[in-house]
A and B are shown apart, each in its own frame.
Chain A
Amino acid sequence: MDTLPDAFPSSTQVKFAAPFPSGAAGASSQGLPGVIENPEPIARIKVHDPPKFDLESYIANYVGRTRFNRLYLIGTSSTVLSTEALKLAVAEAKSGKDVSQYEKAVRALSEVAPTEEDASLDTAWVHNVQRQVQAQSERLEQELRGYKNNLIKESIRMGNEDIGNHYYETGDLLAASKAYTRMRDYCTTPNHIASMLFKLLNVSIERGDWLAVQSNVHRLRNAQSKPEDQLKNQPKMAAALGLAQMHSGSYLDAANTFLSTDVSLADTFNEIITPNDVAVYGGLCAMASMDRGDLQRRVLENSAFRNFLELEPHIRRAIAFFCNSKFRPCLDILEAYRTDYLLDIHLQRHISEIYTLIRTKAIKQYLVPFSRVTLTSMATIFAPQVIGGEAQPTGVSSPFVQELIQMVKKGVLDARIDLEKGVLVSNQTDLRTEVQNKTLESLRSFNEEAHLRILRASVLHAGLEVRAPESERRSRGNPGPNLRGMGMAERFTRGGLRS
């Protein structure tokens, strides 16, 4: 890692190019700008329940390209909101200059609501915008060439920035990040550098290149900005880093980063994340990764983070319930918001894993004080749907019992299931029997190994190693014991070391 932000090595290029190892991949990314790019198409998650939020006011919290991406995700995931969200997405795209975004939204809308007016492509608009974009691209490149001839650093920097912004707005993210990267040689103040890095950060987040996000945050941290600027930038950096950590599955790191986000974030980073998001992401990641004590001390009693949590009081309540071992209400709250989180651009692919982690932890926590717990009482808390829903709520075929079986098999729970009495019994080892068995076993294996070693030593001593037939004959012709085994010993014993 470099310490000087001005001295970006050429390896940065490699870094940026890393998610797109081949030229073909780079090209395809141009054809598919937009939401998190994924090399292989994944099955879209479908959500059938209505979310708690109001779409209009939800999307009003955000600015910039993320608005389209969020609307598009909701439109293609939620069956309830698909038409509404995609219509908004079409409108959002049409207000901008990204033609591919517009086409994508229209295509998706025509699948769910072909009769809608917006579901057919406005080719005139498309042609018009394409022409404009083309013309502007040429103009900006032309200008940049002019600046370069004049060798005015600041102009070149701004020219590159303009090109970057232009490509970003029109959805060519790769070209945008290249243009931003070219700015680095012409940055003359720490502020320039910070601004450039934030531009890169936004592009990387949209591209879903979380490694690049982390390295850009790292560079920002090392940028020699003024302390007050550092302070100003901290919340955005933390939020971006937390996002990257969450996406790479490091929930504890993500939780810690989100928890450290300064409340001054407010709406300064609305093109990526809102304070509400920080509260939700931070709260969920913490619940998935911290024990009760840490949750209490570092989340609930964290006065800075409390400001965030006040925005999403249900998360605060869920954490409080968890800390008080009231697992049912805790899980109920989470369950009630599952739909919302499944429609969140960043949580969608993580929510089921996060929920499973929270649930597993809750079950483990629940078992701590007991040596045995009835499956029924566990099921009422952790699987109320099986009570009454299943013929045998605590039978071996019940999904809840199957869940427990898997947890025991994986070693998550140190307990065993007693299907006769319908209880979960924590494993209490019979210490004496165990020590006895261990002693016997280690004695036995010691004896075996000692025997092996003694035999090997004797074999060497007698010169009877396993050898190839020829060398065997040779050694037979050579009277006396094998020298390898004997030499040292002989010399020492004859030397009178042993008396």
Chain B
Amino acid sequence: MELPPLSLEQLSKLAASNTPSSQLFEILSQYETDASIMSAGSGSAETGAGDPQLLSLFYSSFFFAHLLTKQLPEARALTKRMPEALRHQDPSLQNCLTLLQALWQTQHAQVYQILRGLPWPESLQPLVRRYENFFQDDTLIAISTTYEAIRPETAANYLGLDPQAAEQGDSAIIEKFTSCGWTWDPAARLLRPSPIVVQPTDQTSSNGIRETMAMLGNRGR
């Protein structure tokens, strides 16, 4: 598949599109070659080679594509592949590093703060929002199986909602949880999560074990 050349427009278009995350990752992964060719060329001493704006947007987008496909260790590796000078200078890439650290340490509240509070470039915003939702959903699924009972403020903290309001029993917040099947115990002031199960995409034969054992069994004869 031949891709249009790497450009700001192309990146913005990709970020704004609803391309599935795995495809987005694959496309950006192919662009990495172009990006590294650009940055390897000659350029200014301060920002290194290539168009800093384009490279910043590319690496930020690619970073988010890693997060959207849950590749945290590889995302970390990516931050080390970014052009050195650019990584130290560019605010957007700096934000990515801060975000990576918060994710690495599973500091949920901080992750939301970084995603919402830090200045991200306009063209990247769709990906930031997309990841915020993704992270929120993912966390919601995780706490639904991790906790059997949870205080609203703890849950709110995990999901980046207002803990104070949640503690007051803010109906809008409670509603968010009850809408996914959780029950609210007003007397105990506790939410009782109901596990959210995501069906794995690959449905496989249930005869697997039998077939495999047959294969093993035949081997020695």
Direct contact of A and B (CB under 8 A): yes
The closest CB in chain A to the CB of B213 belongs to A439
Is the beta-carbon distance between A439 and B216 smaller than 8 angstroms? no
Q: Does B212 contact A (CB under 8 A)?
A: yes
Residues of B within 8 A of A (CB): 209, 212-213, 216
The closest CB in chain B to the CB of A450 belongs to B219
- Residues of chain B within 8 A of A443, CB atoms compared: 212, 216
Q: Does A125 contact B (CB under 8 A)?
A: no
Q: Quick one: which of A431-448 are within 8 Å of B by CB?
A: 436, 439, 443, 446
The complex places the Cα of A436 from the Cα of B206 at a distance, in Å, of 12
Is the beta-carbon distance between B209 and A446 smaller than 8 angstroms? no
B42 to chain A, nearest CB (A): 44
Interchain residue pairs with CB less than 8 A apart (6): A436-B209, A439-B209, A439-B213, A443-B212, A443-B216, A446-B216
Q: Is the interface of B mostly helix, strand, loop or mixed?
A: helix
The complex places the Cα of A443 from the Cα of B216 at a distance, in Å, of 9
The complex places the Cα of A443 from the Cα of B209 at a distance, in Å, of 10
A433 to chain B, nearest CB (A): 13
B149 to chain A, nearest CB (A): 12
The closest CB in chain A to the CB of B219 belongs to A450
The complex places the Cα of A439 from the Cα of B209 at a distance, in Å, of 8
- Residues of chain A within 8 A of B213, CB atoms compared: 439
A442 to chain B, nearest CB (A): 9
Would you give the 0/1 interface string for A198-227, flagging 1 where the beta carbon is closer than 8 Å to chain B?
000000000000000000000000000000
The complex places the Cα of A446 from the Cα of B220 at a distance, in Å, of 13
The closest CB in chain B to the CB of A436 belongs to B209
Interface size on A, residues (CB 8 A): 4
B184 to chain A, nearest CB (A): 22
A296 to chain B, nearest CB (A): 46
The complex places the Cα of A439 from the Cα of B213 at a distance, in Å, of 9
- Residues of chain B within 8 A of A439, CB atoms compared: 209, 213
- Residues of chain B within 8 A of A436, CB atoms compared: 209
The closest CB in chain B to the CB of A435 belongs to B209
The complex places the Cα of A443 from the Cα of B213 at a distance, in Å, of 9
B204 to chain A, nearest CB (A): 13
- Residues of chain A within 8 A of B216, CB atoms compared: 443, 446
The closest CB in chain A to the CB of B209 belongs to A439
The closest CB in chain A to the CB of B212 belongs to A443
- Residues of chain B within 8 A of A446, CB atoms compared: 216
- Residues of chain A within 8 A of B209, CB atoms compared: 436, 439
The closest CB in chain A to the CB of B216 belongs to A446
The closest CB in chain B to the CB of A440 belongs to B209
The complex places the Cα of A436 from the Cα of B209 at a distance, in Å, of 9
B178 to chain A, nearest CB (A): 26
The complex places the Cα of A446 from the Cα of B219 at a distance, in Å, of 12
The closest CB in chain B to the CB of A442 belongs to B216
The complex places the Cα of A323 from the Cα of B213 at a distance, in Å, of 48
Q: Quick one: which of A409-466 are within 8 Å of B by CB?
A: 436, 439, 443, 446
- Residues of chain A within 8 A of B212, CB atoms compared: 443
The complex places the Cα of A231 from the Cα of B213 at a distance, in Å, of 65
A84 to chain B, nearest CB (A): 65
The complex places the Cα of A443 from the Cα of B212 at a distance, in Å, of 9
The complex places the Cα of A187 from the Cα of B216 at a distance, in Å, of 73
The closest CB in chain B to the CB of A439 belongs to B209
Would you give the 0/1 interface string for A52-83, flagging 1 where the beta carbon is closer than 8 Å to chain B?
00000000000000000000000000000000
A53 to chain B, nearest CB (A): 58
The complex places the Cα of A322 from the Cα of B213 at a distance, in Å, of 49
B53 to chain A, nearest CB (A): 48
The closest CB in chain B to the CB of A446 belongs to B216
- What 3 A-B pairs are tightest by C-beta distance, nearest first? A439-B209, A443-B212, A446-B216
A449 to chain B, nearest CB (A): 12
The complex places the Cα of A476 from the Cα of B170 at a distance, in Å, of 79
A419 to chain B, nearest CB (A): 16
The closest CB in chain B to the CB of A443 belongs to B212
The complex places the Cα of A408 from the Cα of B143 at a distance, in Å, of 30
The complex places the Cα of A443 from the Cα of B211 at a distance, in Å, of 12
The complex places the Cα of A446 from the Cα of B213 at a distance, in Å, of 12
The complex places the Cα of A443 from the Cα of B215 at a distance, in Å, of 11
The complex places the Cα of A435 from the Cα of B91 at a distance, in Å, of 53
B209 to chain A, nearest CB (A): 6
A365 to chain B, nearest CB (A): 34
A438 to chain B, nearest CB (A): 11
The complex places the Cα of A436 from the Cα of B213 at a distance, in Å, of 12
The complex places the Cα of A441 from the Cα of B212 at a distance, in Å, of 13
The complex places the Cα of A436 from the Cα of B208 at a distance, in Å, of 11
The complex places the Cα of A384 from the Cα of B42 at a distance, in Å, of 84
A117 to chain B, nearest CB (A): 76
Q: Quick one: which of A353-376 are within 8 Å of B by CB?
A: none
Would you give the 0/1 interface string for A397-409, flagging 1 where the beta carbon is closer than 8 Å to chain B?
0000000000000
The complex places the Cα of A121 from the Cα of B53 at a distance, in Å, of 105
A281 to chain B, nearest CB (A): 54
The complex places the Cα of A386 from the Cα of B212 at a distance, in Å, of 55
The complex places the Cα of A439 from the Cα of B211 at a distance, in Å, of 12
A436 to chain B, nearest CB (A): 8
B70 to chain A, nearest CB (A): 22
The complex places the Cα of A2 from the Cα of B209 at a distance, in Å, of 62
The complex places the Cα of A187 from the Cα of B3 at a distance, in Å, of 111
B104 to chain A, nearest CB (A): 28
The complex places the Cα of A443 from the Cα of B208 at a distance, in Å, of 12
The complex places the Cα of A439 from the Cα of B212 at a distance, in Å, of 10
The complex places the Cα of A190 from the Cα of B213 at a distance, in Å, of 70
